[in-house]
Homo-oligomer: A and B are copies of this chain.
Amino acid sequence: MTQTLEPGTPIDADTDRLAIDTIRFLAADMVQAASSGHPGMPMGAAPMAWTLWSRHLRHDPADPDWADRDRFVLSAGHGSALLYALLHLFGYDLPMSELKAFRQLGSRTPGHPEAGHTPGVETTTGPLGQGLAMAVGLALAERMTAARYPEITDHHTFAIVGDGCLMEGVSHEAASLAGHLGLGRLIVLWDDNAITIDGGTELSTSDDQLARFTSYGWHTLSVEDGTDVDAIDEALTAAKADRRPTFIAVRTVIGQGAPGVEGTSKAHGSPLGEETLAAAKARAGWRWPAFTVPEAVRAGCAALAAQSAERRTAWLDAFDLFTVGAPERAGAFRRARERALPGDLRGTLAAIADGRSRATRQSSQDCLVALSGLLPELVGGSADLAGSTGTATGGALVTRDDFTGSTIAFGVREFAMAAVLNGLALHGGFRPWGSTFLVFSDYLRPALRLAALMKQPVIYILTHDSVAVGEDGPTHQPVEHVESLRLIPGLQVLRPADEAETVDAWRLAIERTDGPTALILTRQSVPALDPVSAVRARTAAPDSEPGPLGPTRPDVEIVATGSEVALAVDVTGRLAAEGISVRTVSAMDRSSYRPDRSVPRVSIEAGVTSGWRGLVDLAIGVDEFGASGPGGAVLAHFGLTADAIVARITQLLDDPPDRSALREA
């Protein structure tokens, strides 16, 4: 047995066995008490998890935020009881009362692990495959941190993944990227139990997983007996010694030790039942009541945790030395981890806007370049659309040989990109961004949802934001996407109208530290708006009250976002020529728009209108799929011209507000 911890570690085969059974039965007890949950995975994977935690994982339960800790990701998040048992045993702030409250409202032990909710939980998992992809992000973050701060960075990322994780497409994207980048500090244990919910994996897959991961450039290993602590230990040791990411197939039995259900899908997602649980305990010679940790295990884990904590003590000393020797770098390291911003940020940004008429993706590129100069922690990349999305900043590329760069070439892998961004954010020390076309936000939506749920400040740069994309046609023209992003709780969605608003959108994105932001940007050029031509809704100037709201009691209020604000200004001018007074509102962040319900209101946005209908009397947009043709022709086809809109507004005012009917149409 490799002893990677200090000599004297109180682990012997008896303790191993007892500890593993403790984990197994704590997990099964939790599920039983909740009458809900997944006992099978913890019972089968307990030996590998125990081996990892007892012999390899470097962490300090007293400081779950220690920067240089090893990261552990339970990608098979339904096995949350396994993770909670480990956190409890090693002394994280998760008392037995919390284990007993498994899956109860308000507990720290929810059904699936939730980052930010439970001390020691690194990532929110459950949606399969994403834990693996976030682990790739965490491992990339380690390499990028080590390249910047080698004196104080030396940790690993471990993940346990299930069969389902490996079937999901995101596993391909993430593993391919990890192999390409040679993320040698990433070690993935596959809980190879050959069971999924519907039955044996032979129902649906014949993949040779080792060959598959080899094809990605990974180091691969097998452990034939998933209860063999020494074999698992040896594999982990071999993994750490290899320069490639390592994939270890560990053959396990789901629900191991539970008579009648072990090795079958029945063990997956339901409590074992009192009788089966009692039989399992009897078979294991387990003689304690439910929710018991034998003293030997308690003491052993405490000793292990204390030893592991010494690593942190040593690290703190190293960090002190580092601070003395390189105070500026140490300050930057701390600032980035605290997500604090340098004071000159607003000034730098403000200098960008000088009234140019251009695409907001181009204005965005200037912001990104300027911010990258101020914030070394601002890192990211594109899903193979760097040039098109205005994110070809000229920043050095991250490569397998050099992780000092700030730009990651994600390849055509939107979903993994977004999950890796989550990993970078969760790791700490980085402010990650990623870019693609808005229409392909659908591909990354599951990871974006997790960013919002985990309150991580990831920035998505989503361009080509309407049917104005033109010739590429309906597959590339977003219609429902802006509105569908607005539906995700906690996601800040900003669709700036011009250069000045784009700068402001970037400021809002970067100043937000507790949640993600989607920047919705045009492909086509938009004019710089005369500041008095459109009232900007509150977000444009969050530190001040909204400016004068135009005419006090106009004939009509027009609200628009993004490229349609210029159209609204044009319409406003034409209406004014007809003697109709208009208040024109630019609502980059629709959630801050406060409609003036005393006057008729019209919205203009080149997308689906359902979210506007509660705000205005007439919602002008595109409620069908787009069409291929030059952008101007497509816009005209959908009635997004000043002529067509003036006619509709005039009709609205002529045929005065039985507004109800209008709203319903």
Interface residue ranges, A against B (CB under 8 Å) = 34, 36-37, 77, 103-107, 110-112, 114, 124-129, 163-165, 167-173, 176-177, 179-180, 196-199, 201, 203-209, 211-212, 214-217, 382, 384-388, 392, 397, 409-413, 415-416, 439-440, 442-443, 445-446, 449-450, 452-453, 470-476, 479-480, 483-484, 486-490, 594-595, 597, 608, 610-615, 623-625, 627-630, 633-634, 637, 660-661, 663-664
> Counting chain B CB atoms within 10 Å of each CB, which of A163, A473, A489 scores highest?
A473
B164 and A384 contacting across the interface, CB-CB below 8 Å: yes
Residue in B closest to A608 when the chains form the complex, CB atoms: B487
A-B contact pairs, 25 of them (CB 8 A): A105-B627, A111-B473, A112-B473, A126-B476, A167-B176, A167-B412, A168-B173, A169-B170, A171-B172, A177-B205, A179-B206, A196-B384, A196-B412, A197-B384, A199-B409, A203-B411, A207-B216, A207-B217, A208-B216, A211-B215, A212-B212, A215-B215, A479-B489, A490-B624, A610-B611
- Taking CB as reference atom, which chain B residue is nearest A624? B489
Residue pair A664, B197 in contact (C-beta under 8 Å): no
A470 in contact with B628 given A169-B168, A172-B171, A480-B487 (CB within 8 Å): no
A472 to B615, CA, bound (A): 35
Contact of A384 among B37, B103, B198, B442 (CB under 8 A): B198
B397 touches A203 (CB 8 A): yes
Q: Contact: A471 with B169, CB < 8 Å?
A: no
- B residues within 8 A CB of A214? 208, 211, 215
Task: Answer whether A411 and B37 are a contact pair too, CB < 8 Å, given A112-B472, A388-B197.
Answer: no
In the complex the two chains form, is A112's CB within 8 Å of B608's CB? Answer: no
CA of A189 to CA of B416 in the docked complex: distance in angstroms? 25
Complex Cα distance, B628 from A126, in Å, reads 12
Residues of B within 8 A of A114 (CB): 473-475, 628
Does B198 contact A180, Cβ atoms closer than 8 Å? no
CB atoms of B446 and A442 under 8 A apart: yes
B611–A169 touching, CB < 8 Å: no
Known contacts A112-B628, A453-B475, A613-B613: A409-B198 contact under CB 8 Å: yes
Min Cβ gap A602→B in Å is: 14
Do the beta carbons of A487 and B490 come within 8 Å of each other? no
Name the distance in Å between A170's Cβ and chain B's nearest Cβ: 5
User: Do A413 and B169 touch across chains, with their CB atoms under 8 A apart?
Assistant: yes
User: Chain B residues with Cβ under 8 A from A77's Cβ?
Assistant: 475
Flag if A164 contacts B198 (CB, 8 Å): no
Residue of B nearest to A176 (CB): B207
Q: Which residues of B contact A474 (CB under 8 A)?
A: 110, 114, 453
Chain B residues lying within 8 Å of A172, measured Cβ to Cβ, are 169, 171-173
CB of B446 within 8 A of CB of A443, answer yes
Q: A473-B112, A473-B114 are in contact. Are A167 and B173 (CB under 8 A)?
A: yes
Cα(A612)–Cα(B595), bound, Å: 17
B215 contacts A208, C-beta separation under 8 Å: yes
- Partner among B203, B382, B416, B633 whose Cβ is within 8 Å of the Cβ of A409: B203
* CA–CA, A479 and B452, complex, Å: 13
List the 8 closest A-B pairs by CB distance, nearest first.
Answer: A169-B169, A613-B614, A105-B629, A204-B411, A172-B172, A110-B628, A126-B475, A211-B215
List the B side residues contacting A446 at CB < 8 Å: 440, 442-443
Measured in the bound complex, the distance between the Cα atoms of B479 and A487 in whole Å is: 9
Question: With A104-B629, A198-B409, A597-B664 given, can you name 7 additional A-B contacts, CB distance below 8 Å?
Answer: A106-B627, A126-B476, A165-B412, A167-B412, A208-B215, A479-B489, A613-B615
Choose from B110, B487, B633 the contact partner of A610 (Cβ within 8 Å). Answer: B487
Separation of A77 and B474 alpha carbons in the complex (Å): 12
Q: Whole-angstrom distance between the alpha carbons of A482 and B570 in the complex?
A: 36
A107 to B634, CA, bound (A): 12
Chain B residues with CB under 8 Å of A409's CB are: 198-199, 203-204
**Whole-angstrom CA separation of A112 from B628 in the bound complex:** 8
A168 touching B442 by the CB < 8 A rule?
no
CB pair A105–B176 under 8 Å, yes or no, is no
| A450 proximity list for chain B (CB < 8 A) | 475
A314 CA / B408 CA spacing, docked (Å): 56
- Cα A165 to Cα B411 in complex, Å, equals 11
CB-based contact B384/A476 at 8 Å = no
Residues of B within 8 A of A449 (CB): 442
